[in-house]
Structure 1
């Protein structure tokens, strides 16, 4: 598994001691040591193996944890919200570790979301170049024609972004309600990717549910429920992500 190095101020902030900005001041003020040596340079990078002290107190190193969560609609994919809306961490009151969501599902979308306190794992799973596929069930207004849906594989331009789908499949059509249910597979996920892509071909999204992330599914979970990933699943996700960049 990766032992990537990160900036010292980020490592301090991720430990929960203080914000990154305040961590930078502590470093400049000579209040931080790495492996017993005072460090005052903000560009300094550290790994998980390094011992960090802030004001003479060693940072606690959490054991990595990994969770699969069935996010309900109208929940923010964040650790907090300035509008006091419900966030994903509200569903993890028993978890002491400082977990965070890997990527996002927008406020009105539901489905599979991963959470962890392992930044290296999050990067492997989330980064577009690692190409881990995500499968969504999408209900749209209207009945798109096949040639219109094929445009998603070529790419739909929205501002500076070219929004693409790897695969698509029509699951059902409701001629009376004039709605269509699609299965859409993405290899990356830009902000509001599917909603913007479908708007671009003229079929606004009514509902989105993420059903698969790599090989992981929502089997056995109801909205609002979560479970830990097994060690085997964690290893498989690492292997899936790193294999795709070889």
Structure 2
């Protein structure tokens, strides 16, 4: 359990060429406090229920299992974020994430939830991350929950801000990005839920190929976007030979 909100099971910072292979991250909890901001590593936002890796170039995560992990915010305000119930990888060039199982992890019981299974992103004020490969993984029954506010994406996998990267031959089954509680439907408060299986936001030159999407959902009345796959502010992107 991580009381500071980052890395319930394991925490890696500025570790080059780290290799995580054949590990299991089971029932870990990145729990945040009630004060602070939504910045990465803040006291009130939760990142990486099972694993947190920041600025770890050429990190390789393979043949591991992430199950029943939770990333949780400390307060329900709209700017509080829970990201990466299973794992959270940020600002890590040439990361290779392959042949892992992400099963029944959760991001968010309050505030905004992103990437119930896995999050890969470029953080603010950091050079755009390139060379990421996410391949051959199984994402099953992961949840990204949003409570009373806009902003939630990627029940299985959430990718943000990366470039020149590939997402290939993964299987997304029964993952959900979901609204809990009430949300207004006026324009400023229109719920934004994107990509029940996979959500890609603000990325460039991304290839999404050979993936399988089965019974994923983005649920919030009529405002869920992309039950299997959702793309936002992303391009160019090649979406090729996927099964929906």
Query: Higher strand fraction: Structure 1 or Structure 2?
Result: 2
Question: Larger Cα Rg: Structure 1 or Structure 2?
Answer: 1
TM norm. shorter chain > 0.5: no
Q: TM-score, normalised by structure 1?
A: 0.22
Higher share in helix? 1
With structure 2 as the length reference, what TM-score do the two structures score? 0.22
